[in-house]
Amino acid sequence: MARIIILLAVIAIGLLLWYKISNAPADKRKNLIFWSTAGVIIGTLVVLAATGRMHWLYALGGSIAAFMPRVISALRYLPLINRFRQQYTQQKGQQSSQQSASRTNPGKMTTAEAREILGVKPDASKEEIIRAHKRMMQKVHPDRGGTDYLAAQLNQAKDTLLG
């Protein structure tokens, strides 16, 4: 019988909170939700402590405390993980922009575009073009983190300038 009364009281409090939150102005709603959630958590902890069923919570706290040094030491890798994620998103963005660019300009490359890609002057010699191609290819080769598209563009630029 006591459990039914407690259950009805919890339901009544829940409905009262729901009514109060739904009728509150938008600027006060967030504050009401925060304090309601805090009250529910504190109330649950009090009930668990009073009934002697808080032992699993202590075990959870002990486990968290035991693993906390490992978690803290693993946090030092977050900048590295973030950098990998940024590089991945940049590569995906480059690939999508390159695919759209290849669709808009499917024809041959002009000599001006080829010079711009390799970064050589209009009067560059054959050796300078080859050196520029090699230097750029070392930076954007797919085996070194570049893309197939960039390597193909460099090869096409070299072929365009060398004939």
pTM recorded for the entire structure? 0.37
* DSSP one-letter string for 139-155: HH-GGGT--HHHHHHHH
What pLDDT does 8 receive?
A: 92
What pLDDT does 105 receive?
A: 52
Write out pLDDT tens, residues 119-131. Answer: 888 888 999 999 9
Write out pLDDT tens, residues 47-102. Answer: 888 888 888 888 888 898 998 888 888 777 777 777 777 887 887 777 766 665 55
pLDDT at 12 over 80: yes
| Interhelix angle 111-118/126-140, nearest 10 degrees | 60
Rounded CA-CA distance 34/5 in Å is: 26
